[in-house]
Amino acid sequence: MIFRSTAKLILFIIGLAPLTWLVTALTCDSIYGTILMSVDPVQKLNRELGDWALIFLMVTLSVGPLSKILKRKNLIALRRMLGLLTYFYAVLHLTSYIIIDLQLDWHEFVKDVTKRNFIILGMTSVVLLTPLALTSNNISLKILGSKSWKKLHYLVYPAAIIAIIHFFMMIRADYHRPIIYASLLFALLIYRIWTIEIKNTKIISRFRSKI
């Protein structure tokens, strides 16, 4: 028990480190005139927040398979925190776009959300992650029951696919980074499907042996 909560505390601190760094860098730039966040911090900040949302999303999705491969079940205990960190950075990414980039220009916002596909996809991904973040607590798990809770949380996969397409669409020339994310997600999906198949065949064979 102590191990789990210490691990969670460490994870929480690590999870907030990127944001702490971004704010520190901006503060340094403001006070000392350095350019840690470039001379265009609007773009830099937004990109960094988006990157971190994707990184945490990938780590969250890797926890399940990793715990099985490494045979360390207690890793699963960290998944909720990772998921919430993902959502935290995704919301910050969206907020920085609306407040800092668009400067709360709602006319432009409506135009973006209705006309520009990559923004529609980005927003969709955040919308899909919202019920997951809201139900990432024990009470919701109890109310929903573990089966429907699990079903709901499968939404993370369409959200991840859409987020990566969103990343692909905002690139102009160099696709190597979204390709890395897409390959990782592909591998994770294959693993999922594969393990589900194994489970099913086990169930089937158990069923057969009963007959």
Partner 1 sequence: MIIRTPKSYDLKETSVTKEDIYFNRRKFLKSSLAAAAGGFLGFCPSKNLQAELQQLSYKTTKWGKTLKPSSFEAITSYNNFYEFGTDKSDPKKNSHLLKPKPWTIEVAGHVEKTGIFDFDDLVEKKTLEERIYRMRCVEAWSMVIPWIGVPLNKVIKKLNPSSKAKFVGFTTLKDPTQMPMQNTNILDWPYVEGLRIDEAMNPLTLLAVGLYGKTMPNQNGAPIRLVVPWKYGFKGIKSIVKIEFLSHKPPSSWNIQAPQEYGFYSNVNPNRDHPRWSQKKERRITGQSGFAALFDDKIDTLLFNGYAEEVAHLYKDMDLIKFF
**Between residues 17 and 35, which has the closer beta carbon with respect to partner 1?**
35
Least Cβ distance, residue 25 to partner 1 (angstroms):
9
Residue from 67, 74, 55, 62 nearest 17 by CA:
55
Least Cβ distance, residue 129 to partner 1 (angstroms):
23
Least Cβ distance, residue 177 to partner 1 (angstroms):
10
**Between residues 77 and 170, which has the closer beta carbon with respect to partner 1?**
170
**Between residues 179 and 188, which has the closer beta carbon with respect to partner 1?**
179
Least Cβ distance, residue 20 to partner 1 (angstroms):
16
Note the residues at the interface with partner 1 (CB under 8 A): 26-31, 33-43, 45, 100, 103, 108, 111-112, 116, 118, 169-170, 172-175
CA distance 129 to 159: 7
**Between residues 42 and 182, which has the closer beta carbon with respect to partner 1?**
42
